[in-house]
Amino acid sequence: MERWHLPSIDVSGKREPRVLFSRPECRAVLLDLQEGEEMGDHRVHERAIVEIVSGRLEVTVAGDSFECDSGTLLTFDPGETRRVRALTPARIVLLLAPWPGDGHFRAGETPDSERMPANATASPLG
């Protein structure tokens, strides 16, 4: 078993998410957004599961917007476009499954589901 205490992990910022773990079945990423920060229209090749750990977000999918508080769990299909804006400072956990999804890597790149970024990880509790 591995475990993390999400509120205790240093703030990472939108441009420096923290990868908690990465396996073929799933990758977990911790991401912090400051009030007003936005992740414009984007999509991923994997199924995306988002849990709002703290804060409040506005999530827009297919032209419909929803305000979501901490404790909310969201799921997105592979390729589903969404926009996320922080209404307050927010921390989210993003699960991508399976990792990597079909088409995630460019032709010629070697997919390595367990590769961890050297400077963007958060170790589990001891």
- For 87-103, the pLDDT digits (tens) are 999 999 999 998 776 76
Alpha-carbon dihedral of residues 92, 94, 95, 98, nearest 10 degrees?
A: 180
- Helices marked H in 6-123: none
The verdict on residue 61 lying in a domain is: yes
Closest CA to 21 of 103, 120, 126, 102: 120
Residues 56-112 have pLDDT tens digits of 999 999 999 999 999 999 999 999 999 999 999 999 999 999 877 676 666 777 766
3-state secondary structure at position 6: helix
Note down the domain range covering 44.
Answer: 24-114
| Structural domain total, the chain | 1
The verdict on residue 39 lying in a domain is: yes
The verdict on residue 68 lying in a domain is: yes
The verdict on residue 32 lying in a domain is: yes
Q: Residue 72 maps to which CATH number? A: 2.60.120.10
How would you list the strands of the sheet with 64-69, edge to edge?
38-42, 82-86, 56-61, 64-69
